[in-house]
Amino acid sequence: MTKEWTSKKDSFEIIDVRKLTGNFLPMLLKKGNITSVGEGICVIQSFEPIPLYSAMANLGFEYITEKVSDNEYRVYFYKVKEKQVNMPGESDVPLKPTAMVNFKKIDDSLADILVNFWDLIWGENSVFEMKFKLLLSLANGVGGGRFRQATRELVKGYAAGVTVAELDELFSMFVWNQGVGTFASEIGPSPLFAAYSLIKEQEQKGVSKADILKELVERFGENNPQVGTLYKNKK
C-alpha cells in the first residue's frame, strides 16, 4: 500500500552521506529532531542503511527505500509525529554498527552484504530476548579478546534491560572460564570492566537508569578510542 506522503518525497531535503567517513548518526538525529511533522528528508547511501531505520522510527518517522543502482540507495523519511531523542539510547539501542562505514571504504557491495547479514542476526525475528543475545555476544567478545566489541555490547545490553545482578554473575563466570590471571591482567583494566563498574557504582548511589545510560554513552561511546569503531587522527 502506497503511503500518502510519497507524492511529495521529491521535495524532501537531500542528505548524501556516501562520502562521509565519520559517524554521521548524531547529525541525522539532530536533523530529525528539528524536522517538523509533515516534512521529510532523503538520505542517500551507497548501501541500504538498515540500522538507520529504527533510529529514525524512534524519532517519529516513516520511511520508504528506493534502490537507484547497486551503489545508490535513497531512503525517504517522513515525520508523522513529534518525538524528541537527544542521544542514541534514549528510546533506541545505542551504539549503532558504525563499522559498516569501514567496510564501505573497501567496497560498497561488501558493505551491502554485511549490513543485510547484520539485519539477519540483529533484526526483529530473533528467538532470543535481545538482552540475552547481547550478553552472549559480550561473552563471545571477551573470549576472543575483543574488549571493544564486548564494551559496546555491555552498553547496549544495559539499555536493553540487563541488570546488575546478571552482570555480576556474568563477570564471575569470566573469572571461572578465563582464569584469575587473565581476569587480573586483561579484563580488570579494560573499558569493559570500567563500564560495568560505573553501572554498579551508580546504581548503588540511586542514580536513575536514564542518567547512567547517558553517562555510559558519553564515556564508553563512539568518542572513546577504546570503544569507537572509526579511526580518528590524533591532532
Domain boundaries, the chain: 8-116, 126-219
- If you count DSSP H runs as helices and E runs as strands, how many of each does the chain have, helices first? 10, 4
Q: CATH fold of 8-116, please?
A: Translation Initiation Factor IF3 (3.30.110)
CB 17 within 8 A of CB 45: yes
Asked if 53 contacts 111 with a C-beta cutoff of 8 angstroms, the reply is no
- The predicted model scores a pTM of 0.83
Q: Taking Cα atoms as reference points, which of 143, 153, 148, 157 lies closest to residue 227? A: 148
Place of cell 533484526: 123
- For residue 85, the model assigns a pLDDT of 57
One DSSP character per residue, 184-210 reads IIIITTSHHHHHHHHHHHHHHTT--HH
| Sheet of 72-79, strand order | 13-16, 40-45, 72-79, 61-69
Question: Residue 87 pLDDT > 60, yes or no?
Answer: no
Question: Tell me: the pLDDT tens digits for 206-230?
Answer: 999 999 999 999 999 999 999 999 8
Instruction: Please check the confidence at residue 21 and state whether its pLDDT lies above 80.
Output: no
Mean pLDDT of the chain: 91
